[in-house]
Every structure is written in C-alpha cells, then in structure tokens.
Structure 1
Amino acid sequence: MPSAIPTGTLERPAGSSAAAPAAVSRWRLGRQAAWRTLLAAVAGLLLLLAFPGSSLPWLAPLGPAALALAVSGQRARSGAWLGLVCGLAFFVPLLSWSGIFVGALPWLALAGAQAAYVALLGAASAATSRLPLWPLWAAALWVGQEALRGRFPFGGFPWGRLGLSQTEGPFLAFAAYGGVPLVGFAVALTGTLLAAAVLQLVRGGRRAAALAALGAVAVPALGGLAWLPLPGSSLAAGGPTRTVAVVQGDVPQPGLEFNERRRAVLDNHVTQTIGLAEAVAAGEQPQPDLVVWPENSSDIDPYRNADAARQISRAADAIGAPILVGAVVSGPGQFVSNTAIVWDPRTGPGDTYVKRHPVPFAEYIPFRDFFRLFSEHVDRVSRDFAAGDEVGLLDVGGARVADVICFEVVYDGLVHDAVSAGAGMVVVQTNNATFGYSAESEQQVAAARVRAVEFGRSVALASTSGISAVIAPDGSLAAASGLFEPTVFVEQIAQRDSSTLAERLGAGPEWLLGALGAGALLAVAVPGLRRRGAAG
C-alpha cells in the first residue's frame, strides 16, 4: 500500500548524508572565493612589477586583466573585497619609501587609503561585469577611480596611476593625445580585453574570444602608430636652443636629518656650480644660459640670511648665468613657502614660483591635534607651508620654463597650466633625500618621462641627492645620475612652442572616460532601484 506521506518529508536514518550537498556547495564557494582572492592579489603584484623598481612596463595590462577575471560575475560587495586585496598588494610595497624614516603607521595609512579607491573600482567593475561591452566600461572605471584618487582628500595623491608605469613602449605614445588618463585607459582596456578573451574561451565562445584577443592586440598596435608624428629623441630639435645646466649637489646623509645640515646642502650646490664654472673656463663644458638647482638647495632663507644670499650670488657670478634656486622662504605670516627663485648674477633674486600643492602630512599638517594622537612625527613639520597661487612659468636665461616642484609632477593640472602658459621646456625641482635608496626617485623620473611625451617638451629634473635627469621629448633619458652622488649635466635644449593634442584637450579625456564609467554604473543601478521599488 503506498504511503500517504510525501517521500521528501521522510526522516533519514542517523548517519545519513543529508547535509552533504550543502557542505559540498559551501566548499566549492569557499574554494572559488579563495582563488578569486589570490587572483586579485596577483593583479596587484603584476601592477607593482610594471613600475620602477622592477621596471617591467609590459606587465601592466596583466594587472587589470587579473582583477577583471577575479570580479567577473560577482556582486559589488565581493568586488570591493577583491579590489581592496589588489590595492593593498600594489600600494603597500609601491609606497614603502614613505615609511623609511617615519615608521610603518604613516606608510600603511597612506597605502590603505589608496587601496580603498581600488576597492571602489572592484565593486564597480563587478557590478558592470555582466553588461555588454564590459571591457570598455571596466577600463573607463580605472580612469574614474584614478581621477577621484588624484583629487580627494586634501587635493588627492595621484601616485601609482596606470599611465605612470609606461616609460617606454607603444602605450606611452597615447600621452601626447590624452595625457596620463588616456595612457592608463589604453593599458586597462588591453587588460580587460585579454580577460574577456579568457572568459570566452572557458565558455566555449572561440569566435568571441578571438575578437577580444584581436582587440587586445589592436590597442598597443595603435599606440605604435601614434608614435609616428611625435618628436624624437633629440634635445636640440624643434626650436631655438638654450644651454641648460642641472646641478645635483648631494646631501651629507639620507633621511629626515639632512635638513639639519642646511648650510652643507647649500655649500654643496655652490661648490658644484663653481666647479662647473672652472670647467667652462677650461673649455671642458659649454657656457650655460641657465643653471637649475633642486628643491631645498637652500633651506636657509636667502632673503633673511645675508650669508646664504652671498653664497648663491657667488655661484651665479662664477658661472655667469642665472640660477633657479629651490629655497624655503619665511612667510606669509606664520607660514613658510617652498619657493623657486630666479637668481641673476647681476641683479640678484628676481621672479619666483611658490609651490601650489604642498604635500599634506609632509609640508603641512591638516587637523594637527587629531593626527598627533597617532604619530609624534607630525610635529617635525613645525611650520606649515603655504600654497602658491600663481602658475609656475618663469623666464630664466632666455628660457621660458614650466617649473613644478617635487610631487607636483604627478598632478596633471599643475603641469598643464605651466606648459600652456607658454613654456618651451619643463623643469622639475625635487628633493628625494628623505626617501633613501628606495624606488621613489625612479618613480618620479618615470612621471617626468610621461610628461615629456604628453607635452612634447624636454624635461630637466634636478634633485638634491638623485635621481637627476634630462629627458627628451620622446621620454628617453638623455642623462641620468645615480643616488647620493654629486653630478652636473650640461645639455643644449630646444625651446619648443608646438602643442600636443593632450595640451589642447587638457582634462577633457579624463572627464569623458570617467563619464563613460559612471554611465555604465548608472545602467546597472537604475534598473536595480526600480525593481526594488516595485517589489516594495
């Protein structure tokens, strides 16, 4: 006689495997989460290898590819976790130089803050991963998160953007057409197309996989063609030349304490400049039209200290050319100013440029009382630096230079403003002594190389302790120093007046690409909100 009770409700004997399917399901989900997390970490490490330190820029597209594979088909919450893992794997080692002399807390706080933006990227990429043409939206989202990271908070910190990994190769050419954002977009798009090809192969879509792979090859191929109309490696081609000397005087020792020997740093730069003058008199070097000293080459205010002023004038008189001096100047009020001074051998100090973007927690301390609770190092900055309000265009020895100071080289708008004001070359004055023998200097030189291509201008980079460099308009190194060694370069540099498409478009490409990413997010979010409203 058949039972009246449905078989699905019968009680199983003790020891049966009723929970086995659920356990297997949980095991599979856990295993999947583990490999996705590992893949996200690999994505961050691949990005790291692309940057100076390892200097394998061709690996850069594999970072976005690995992250895209990790977040594919996931919810936004899972994507955020995977993005955070990627960001930490990248930024913690990339920014390790920030903690060399101040300890782990500031370093890890900075790296964690930057990684939080990659978490947002992971969430957004996961949410849009089911849309048609998702590789395009994912690449645009990379640009969007970098735009946010470069602006918020405290003016942002756009270090480690994808585009700044490309110091050579086909992707670098895109800088002349859309700046760092377009370079980063091209790198990310190549990676997301590679990820799409892999996913289609796994699903059996060979034709779609082939098309995605073809697109991944087409992007760098287009970059190779984009090089054709751009300037070459000649410093002297493209306009009237000026003879530029770059002086790296070195510091007594690396670390924060270098600043306690301010007079020794100034004397080192005076000595190197006088040595150059002797080489000019002996016919061993050409007579320079201008001399570039680095940031912090005179941390003794030459307006208030007559002896410092005499030493700078002594060097200028000896070389017979104006010197662009990097000085710390008292004022306005209770503040100090990171100031570039054009010091003429006949008339003394003249035009100045005051750094427009002082570095938070290094040159000024926001919310000082609060952050003192976490680190006593905040009081090493005893006086906050004031921000300048004028563009860094200076006339030095007949050269119109776009002057940016230290980290300003990674801020698109600051460099663009100075070049578009009429500069014929770019000068970067920096002090890297506080970062020791780390990759920070190489990363900064890489940014300057991208700027050279972006604006079709040669770049003279002067550092107190290295790396100093002279960079041609194609981003190649015409000269480069080592770390912590006195060096002088003298080069003929053309004063170019042509403008690249990137200069004319300004921030336009970044806004456009960011809007594409935002539009993709809206395409996902709006229908979701409507469904929730209807269900409610």
Structure 2
Amino acid sequence: MPVGVAFPLAVIGGLLLALSFPSPGWWFLAYPAVACLLVAVMGQRARRAAWLGYLGGVAFWVPAISWAGRYLGPVPWFALALFEAAYLALGSVAIALAYRWVARAVPSTAGRVWGLPAVVAALWTGREWFSGSWPYGGFAWGRIGLSQSQGPFAHLAAYVGVLGLTFVVVYCVAVVVSLVVVVPSGPGLSVRAPFRVATAGLLVAAVLAVPAWPTAVRGTVRVESVQGNGPAGYFDGAAPGEVLAAQVAATDLAAKGVDFVVWPEASAEYDPRQQPVVASALDSVVDTMHVPLVAGAITQTSSGVLHNTSFVWTTDGWQSSYDKKRPVPFGEYVPDRWFFSKLAPSLIGLLQRDYTPGTKPNVLPVGGIQAGIAICFDIVDDGLTTDMARGGAQVILAQTNNADFDGTDENLQQLEIARMRAIETGRSLVNISTVGASQVIDPSGRTIDRVPAYTATSMVTDVPLGTSTTPATRFSGDLSLVLCLGGLLVLLACAPWRRRRS
C-alpha cells in the first residue's frame, strides 16, 4: 500500500480503537480498527511497518489514556502514550513479516484464509502479553479483549480469558482481511465473492454459537458497599480523618440483613492498630451493625515498609488482611528512582513514599464466605485474577480510589476491566470506589446494582455467590503462553533463512 494511504489508515485504525473503549465505549469499532491496522502494515518493509504501527499506537494511546494528565499535566500522559505506542510498533513489524513470510511458506487458499490469520492473531496477542508484563509489571490497559465487555463475544472470556478473547477478535478480523485482500492477490487463488462472504459469515456464526459458560451460583450474600465521595484525591488537601468521616457518614447503619460492609481503597486512611481514632470510627460501624467491615488503609511494618492494605475489621478488631501486590509504577512507587529523578525531578519529587508489593494471599474470610480482594490496579493482573478463583473466592471485592481522575474516563475503563474479570472467573464482583463508578456485577457481566458517581451513598445488594470453575481460571495462562510462543515460533520457522545465507 502506498505510504500516502497507509499512514492515514493507521491513524484511523488507532482512533477507532480508542473510541471502542469508554468513553464512548463503542466496542464494535474495535473490528474496523484492527482491520485498518492490519491492512496498513500488510506487505510493508520492517522499518515502514514500525512507523505505521507507532503512528497508529500514538493515535490510540493519546486519547485513550488522556486521564493520565488529569493532575500531573501532559508530561506523564504523553510519556506513557509514546512508550506504549512503541509496543504496537514492535508488534506491527512482526505482523508485517508474517504477511510476507507465512503467506509465502503456506501458499494454499486454506493456509492463507485460516492459517495466516492465526499467526497474525497470535502475534498480536503476544504483543499485548508482553506490554502487560514488562517493564515494572507492565501496563495491561488497552487490550482488544477489554474493549469487548459489552460485545457479543464477551462471554468467551470465561473460556479463554481476556488475552484469549483478543486472539478470537483479531483472528476473525484477520480472516476477513485475508478473504478480501490476501487470497485474491495470489496467482491462481482467486475466490469468488459469494464464497468469501459465506466463509466470513460462517466463522462469525460459529463463534457466536458458543454458549455462555454455565456459571453455577449457590446462595447470595447481602453486601453494603459504601461510596463516601470524600476528598480522597492526592491533591485534594484533605485533613486527616476527612475521608474516613465521609465513609462513616455514607454508611447506612440501619441497613437490614447485611452480612458485611465493604469500603473502597484507603478508605480508613491509617492503620487502626496504630491509630485509636481510626479504630474507634470502625468500631462505631461494626458495633452498630454487628457485621464485619472490609476497609482499606496505608499500613507500615516495624521495619518501615509501606503497604496499601485491605483488611477485615470486626467487633474483635483486626482479623485478616491483604497487601496490594500490584502498586502502580510512578503512582504508588517510583522504580529506579535515582534514574528518573534526574529526568523529571519536579514530578518524581511529588511521590515521597514508595509502597512495597505484598505477599499475602488475595482471598480473605469475610462474614462466613471467601472474598477475593483486588485493590485498584490489581484488577488488570491476569495472574492475580486466577489466584482469586483458585484460592476459593466466592465473590470479588474490587476496592479502588478514582478520586485523582475526577471527570475523566479512567473509572469507566477500570469498571469495564472489572466486568471482564467477573465473566472470566464466573464470580460476582463488587466494584466499590471512593467517588465512582461503583457497581455490582453478576457472573455474566450484567450490572445488578449501581449508585451515581460523585455521590455520597451506599448500595445494599444480594450478591450471588459463585461456585463453578471456568476454563479461563484453569487454563488461560497456559493458553496465552501457547499462543504467544506459537505465533513467534511459526514466524521464525517461515523466515527465509536459507535464501539469506545464499
């Protein structure tokens, strides 16, 4: 494709992909977005494919994560967007090579219609896995699978996980691209239009025919989820105890039949074992309601190590806790501080304390049931999601503090990630935020309760308890590894090594 057409097409693909995420969250635009990006790099040399992928990545990431500059300004926003775009550039090179090498090695119609798209989809999935894993634990935002929480393929996450869903979406698009572009261009391989349309239709129909995983639930638990709407932002300048007071005030102490209460991330502010004032406020809730309270606080060990902690508080005090395993790089800690302080001393200087990743299991006993705990950024981690399901969680409590992203799409994007995790695990999920968006989601991904954002209130919900094990929680990690390595190995096997040596 001429560069004058390919570059605008890559930009269009990136912009369409951004629109598939909230807001507006038009999930169906992910399909033409992927098609534009694939067609743009098809047949290109590696260097041009890299620039096309990078330009498409910038067009996607800049609007998709505009919330990153809400308080800190454009520097961290553009730095993250430009860095993440480099991953799409790398993946575009691999895909461009696949369209040249694999198509040459597998010249048959079947190979180009079915086999080549599988390699392309596997390479795309591998790129998403890599960017979500490295460096500093990666940034798993923006995956194709996460854009499909409201789409017809969302239920497949219970079978193959979020990364597996990315593979399915990209594969379907790549098959259509092959039918329209690749197959007719081969000598002697021309296929009539009705056959191409029928093939694409049958593929989509076959995917849609896969039934939703038969999620089993046994009983319910009545949960009061409290959105205090306190001044919980980093720059809100709240006095000590203001956030805690907002949470206590928003809790309906007269709610009937509640099994436990859940507050958002860092809602208690300080460790109640060290601060009698905090303990007294928590006691006022549990002594009145006679049920456990799941809250969050910043805790510190005797050696000075800081943790972002979720804990269970009862009439007998502190019972159990989980320390956040995925603190946010450059948000909750600064990796390689010595280096980045030289690049942006004023920004890095704002983060005076570093939180340490926890090591405790992320499933806690609460009110007679087992609750999986995800603190904010934990929800994007595939491994932590699997750990909750395998650890016996019957419900997931996703505690978060979105106050620093007031008025942006960050909370909506995180909510859709949480929705995909509910489907993936076959577990109801309580997404409770300091300011919104707070919702209760059932195992099918359907919202069963919600409260308005930026409102001090609570919701009392009968939450179904999951008991089944989905294929995704057992095999999605292995499947992702097979797809990632498989795509790369096939690409390398089809490379024209002999020709180069000659």
TM-score by length of 1: 0.87
Gaps (5+ residues) in structure 2? Answer: 107-114
Q: Which amino acid aligns with 1:404?
A: A
Greater mean alpha carbon deviation, residues 203-212 or residues 170-179: 203-212
Corresponding residue number in structure 1 for 2:328: 359
Q: 1:531 and 2:499 equivalent? A: yes
Larger radius of gyration: 1
Secondary structure of 1:503's partner?
helix
Q: Which amino acid aligns with 1:299?
A: E
**How far apart are the structure 1 equivalents of 2:206 and 2:155?**
9
**How far apart are the structure 2 equivalents of 1:198 and 1:101?**
46
From 241, 244, 252, the counterpart of 2:231: 252
Secondary structure of 1:475's partner?
coil
**How far apart are the structure 2 equivalents of 1:419 and 1:228?**
18
Q: Which amino acid aligns with 1:258?
A: D
Corresponding residue number in structure 1 for 2:13: 43
Corresponding residue number in structure 2 for 1:194: 176
Residue 261 of structure 1 deviates from its aligned partner by: 3.4
Contact kept in structure 1, 2:231 and 2:238, CA below 8 Å = no
**How far apart are the structure 1 equivalents of 2:116 and 2:194?**
16
Q: 1:174 and 2:142 equivalent? A: no
Matches within 5 A, 1:439-518: 439-518=409-488
Distance change in 2, residues 1:433/1:66 (3 Å): same
**How far apart are the structure 1 equivalents of 2:135 and 2:196?**
37
Which string of whole-angstrom CA distances, capped at 9 and with x for unpartnered residues, describes residues 478-506 of structure 1? 12233211121111122222101111214
Secondary structure of 2:413's partner?
helix
**How far apart are the structure 1 equivalents of 2:25 and 2:313?**
37
**How far apart are the structure 2 equivalents of 1:426 and 1:169?**
22
Q: 1:397 and 2:375 equivalent? A: no
Which string of whole-angstrom CA distances, capped at 9 and with x for unpartnered residues, describes residues 79-100 of structure 1? 1111111111111111111111
Corresponding residue number in structure 1 for 2:210: 226
Contact kept in structure 2, 1:197 and 1:212, CA below 8 Å = yes
Distance change in 2, residues 1:194/1:262 (3 Å): farther
**How far apart are the structure 2 equivalents of 1:298 and 1:215?**
57
Secondary structure of 1:66's partner?
helix
**How far apart are the structure 1 equivalents of 2:240 and 2:144?**
36
Contact kept in structure 1, 2:160 and 2:479, CA below 8 Å = yes
Q: How many matched pairs?
A: 487
Contact kept in structure 2, 1:190 and 1:217, CA below 8 Å = no
Secondary structure of 1:391's partner?
coil
From 250, 253, 256, the counterpart of 1:277: 253
Residue 220 of structure 1 deviates from its aligned partner by: 3.9
TM-score by length of 2: 0.93
Distance change in 2, residues 1:483/1:524 (3 Å): same
Q: Which amino acid aligns with 1:272?
A: A
Q: Which amino acid aligns with 1:78?
A: R
Matches within 5 A, 1:393-432: 393-432=363-402
Matches within 5 A, 1:40-79: 40-79=10-49
**How far apart are the structure 2 equivalents of 1:96 and 1:340?**
29
Q: Which amino acid aligns with 1:271?
A: A
**How far apart are the structure 2 equivalents of 1:407 and 1:512?**
26
Q: Which amino acid aligns with 2:243?
A: V
Greater mean alpha carbon deviation, residues 480-489 or residues 111-120: 480-489
Secondary structure of 1:91's partner?
helix
Q: 1:165 and 2:147 equivalent? A: yes
Contact kept in structure 2, 1:332 and 1:386, CA below 8 Å = no
**How far apart are the structure 2 equivalents of 1:209 and 1:67?**
23
From 343, 348, 356, the counterpart of 1:374: 343
Residue 211 of structure 1 deviates from its aligned partner by: 5.0
Secondary structure of 2:218's partner?
coil
Residue 70 of structure 1 deviates from its aligned partner by: 0.5
Contact kept in structure 2, 1:175 and 1:450, CA below 8 Å = yes
Contact kept in structure 1, 2:300 and 2:306, CA below 8 Å = yes
Corresponding residue number in structure 2 for 1:261: 239
Q: Which amino acid aligns with 1:162?
A: I
Residue 148 of structure 1 deviates from its aligned partner by: 0.4
Distance change in 2, residues 1:34/1:256 (3 Å): farther
Contact kept in structure 2, 1:197 and 1:210, CA below 8 Å = no
Q: 1:154 and 2:133 equivalent? A: no
**How far apart are the structure 2 equivalents of 1:212 and 1:306?**
71
Corresponding residue number in structure 2 for 1:10: none
Corresponding residue number in structure 1 for 2:109: none
Residue 244 of structure 1 deviates from its aligned partner by: 1.1
Contact kept in structure 2, 1:196 and 1:212, CA below 8 Å = no
Q: 1:385 and 2:367 equivalent? A: no
What is the identity percentage for the equivalent residue pairs of Structure 1 and Structure 2?
37
Q: Which amino acid aligns with 2:339?
A: F
Contact kept in structure 1, 2:389 and 2:469, CA below 8 Å = no
Distance change in 2, residues 1:349/1:208 (3 Å): farther
Q: Which amino acid aligns with 2:228?
A: G
Residue 390 of structure 1 deviates from its aligned partner by: 2.0
**How far apart are the structure 2 equivalents of 1:214 and 1:259?**
61
